[in-house]
């Protein structure tokens, strides 16, 4: 239910209302002057609306729950070519299917339209991820996207079909033209948002790395931890001849959440040094921690490794 209300957020709702009103004015044809003056603003609004749809998709696919903020960037005519590419594709499919119908090749036209409608969300998703126009048209790429997205993709296609049936019903019934236009633009925001959610939910299957995800957060945390360990190890190496340097190292290890992993990393790094005295001294604490955790086999191996360096040193 929360996803269905996404277009009602301030930024998308404002754009939907303004664009719906501009399109409605064009259709009702109040007066010729109003119609003439409406063409340029309508073109700007339609372009801004299409750009905003792709930004919604990108932001959702990257794991951000909030809607994009409106800015003057959306009214720049050549800042983003993806809306033009989608329009060209729509026009191409319409022209080709009409040409097939005129030549009594109805079955080919139906196959073309069915394939297009079935792969349209995949195509939008690939364009949204800046896969490129021509690579996105590759049937193998499109079918791979639909397969990896799974059953949720076909649920999206089903909802897409139901949405257009509802729009036709609104247009032919009491609410009339403006309600149909508003519902159409509302549905487009919802579709692009849903495609973004599909990409985010299936990011591993689609080999996509969003900016904001548990995996990316874990990678950043691991990178920060690695840098912290390297900084500590540099200090330990510089002060390796001081008697209290082992206490400094153990203090850093105790501060970590996974102490065994910290022991293992520092031990492996120090065993690469030319002088391994500090590594052997640290081995005593590493082996003890392993035995306390019940990892006796690994503890025996570390003990043997340390004794191979200095047979006279006991690590237990």
Average per-residue pLDDT for the chain: 83
* pLDDT at position 291: 92
* pLDDT at position 270: 92
Tell me the whole-structure pTM to 2 decimals.
Answer: 0.73
* pLDDT at position 115: 80
Mean pLDDT of 1-20: 86
Given a contact cutoff of 8 angstroms between Cβ atoms, the answer to whether 200 and 56 are in contact is no
Residue 219 has pLDDT above 90, yes or no: no
* pLDDT at position 130: 83
Q: Where does 103-213 have alpha helices with state H?
A: 106-128, 133-136, 139-149, 151-172, 176-201
Closest CA to 208 of 57, 90, 68: 57
What CA–CA distance (Å, rounded) separates 172 from 35? 24
- Across 16-30, 111-125, 172-186, which has the greatest mean pLDDT? 111-125
Q: Read off the pLDDT band of 72 (50, 70, 90).
A: confident
Residue 200 has pLDDT above 80, yes or no: yes
* pLDDT at position 86: 83
**Alpha-carbon distances, residue 138 vs 32, 113, 123, 144 (angstroms):** 44, 16, 9, 10
pLDDT in tens, 107-166: 787 888 778 878 888 888 998 888 888 888 888 888 888 888 888 888 877 777 776 677
Closest CA to 183 of 157, 206, 162, 201: 162
Closest CA to 121 of 69, 63, 199, 237: 199
Residue 30 has pLDDT above 60, yes or no: no
């Amino acid at each position: 239910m929360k996803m269905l209300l996404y277009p009602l957020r301030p930024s998308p709702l404002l754009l939907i209302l303004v664009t719906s009103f501009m399109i409605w004015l064009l259709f009702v044809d109040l007066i010729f002057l109003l119609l003439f003056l409406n063409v340029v603003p309508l073109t700007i609004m339609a372009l801004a609306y299409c750009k905003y749809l792709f930004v919604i998709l990108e932001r959702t696919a990257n794991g951000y729950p909030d809607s994009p903020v409106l800015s003057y960037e959306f009214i720049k005519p050549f800042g983003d070519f993806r809306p033009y590419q989608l329009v060209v594709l729509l026009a191409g499919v319409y022209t080709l299917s009409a040409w097939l119908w005129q030549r009594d090749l109805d079955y080919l036209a139906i196959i073309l339209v069915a394939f297009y409608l079935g792969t349209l969300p995949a195509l939008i998703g690939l364009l949204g991820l800046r896969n490129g126009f021509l690579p996105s048209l590759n049937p193998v790429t499109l079918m791979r996207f639909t397969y990896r997205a799974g059953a949720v993709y076909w649920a999206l296609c089903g909802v897409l079909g139901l949405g257009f049936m509802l729009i036709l019903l609104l247009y032919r019934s009491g609410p009339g033209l403006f309600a149909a236009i508003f519902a159409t633009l509302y549905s487009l925001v919802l579709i692009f948002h849903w495609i973004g959610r599909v990409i985010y939910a299936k990011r591993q299957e689609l080999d996509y790395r969003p900016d904001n995800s548990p995996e990316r957060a874990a990678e950043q945390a691991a990178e920060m931890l690695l840098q912290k360990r390297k900084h500590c190890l540099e200090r330990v190496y510089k002060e390796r001849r001081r008697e209290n340097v082992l206490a400094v190292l153990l203090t850093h290890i105790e501060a970590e959440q996974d102490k065994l992993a910290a022991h293992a990393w520092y031990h492996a790094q120090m065993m690469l040094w030319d002088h391994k005295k500090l590594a052997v001294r640290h081995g005593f604490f590493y082996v003890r921690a392993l035995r306390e955790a019940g990892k006796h086999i690994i503890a025996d191996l570390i003990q043997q490794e340390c004794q191979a360096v200095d047979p006279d040193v006991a690590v237990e």
